[in-house]
Amino acid sequence: MPTTEEAIEFLIAGNARFAAGASIHPNLTEQVRLETYEQGQKPFCAVLSCADSRAPVEMVFDQGIGDIFSVRSAGNVADEVVRGSLEMGVYKFGIPLLIVMGHTDCGAIKLAVDGDRLHGSMPSVIDLIIPVAETVREQNPGLGKDGLILEVTRANARHVVNELVKRSDVFRRKIVGGELKVMSALHDLKSGLVEWLD
């Protein structure tokens, strides 16, 4: 298992290839498929990202089979099921790096900023983002709509990191023991580049 620093370097290098249109699509061979099946997975990072079809994590970081323990939800929000899923990856496989990644032009963020009324189970997603949107709006009264959406996207990723750590003994123990680093990030859909937020 790589160190936290090495894991970050893998992601930065893979994202640079992706953004440059120079992806090498590693670890997609039949051999890797069979090895990871027979020997089990050893993912080097866990990522919570949005379900948006333009933000597939393995492609954005140019990784392959067995590399990323990926959980996705609209707006990269985390309820108990999402938190438990991420805990499974971190606990079971000793993953040293957990990332919460938002993206530009996120539909869930826009809905929360607009305060749109929704039906079905969709409010359970948006209701987790609305308090973040309200805080950002209060703190940035001069911000236009596009700027507000972008800042809410950044703030939401940071907020989800804080909530995950606050509510998870598993993550806190690992962080205190120096075995886990948790970071937030923003994926720019146009450039393809990932901005590290902290």
Residues binding Zn ion (CB under 5 A): 50, 52, 106
Cβ distance to Zn ion smaller for residue 155 or 180:
155
Cβ distance to Zn ion smaller for residue 8 or 55:
55
Nearest distance, CB of residue 96 and Zn ion, angstroms: 26
Collapsing DSSP states into helix, strand and coil, what is residue 155?
helix
Return the structure tokens found at 150.
Answer: 């972008």
Cβ distance to Zn ion smaller for residue 11 or 74:
74
Nearest distance, CB of residue 79 and Zn ion, angstroms: 16
The percent of the chain in helix, strand and coil, each rounded to the nearest 5, is 50, 15, 35
Cβ distance to Zn ion smaller for residue 151 or 171:
151
Nearest distance, CB of residue 21 and Zn ion, angstroms: 23
Cβ distance to Zn ion smaller for residue 101 or 106:
106
CA–CA dist 3, 109 (Å, integer): 33
Nearest distance, CB of residue 159 and Zn ion, angstroms: 15
CA–CA dist 86, 48 (Å, integer): 8
Nearest distance, CB of residue 6 and Zn ion, angstroms: 29
SS3 assignment for 77-142: CCCHHHHHHHHHHHHHHCCCEEEEEEECCCHHHHHHHHCCCCCCCCHHHHHHHHHHHHHHHHHCCC
* Residue 165: alpha-carbon gap to chain centroid: 14
> What secondary structure letter does DSSP report for 193?
P
Q: Would you say 198 and 186 are in contact if contact means Cβ atoms under 8 Å apart?
A: no
Nearest distance, CB of residue 50 and Zn ion, angstroms: 3
Cβ distance to Zn ion smaller for residue 50 or 182:
50
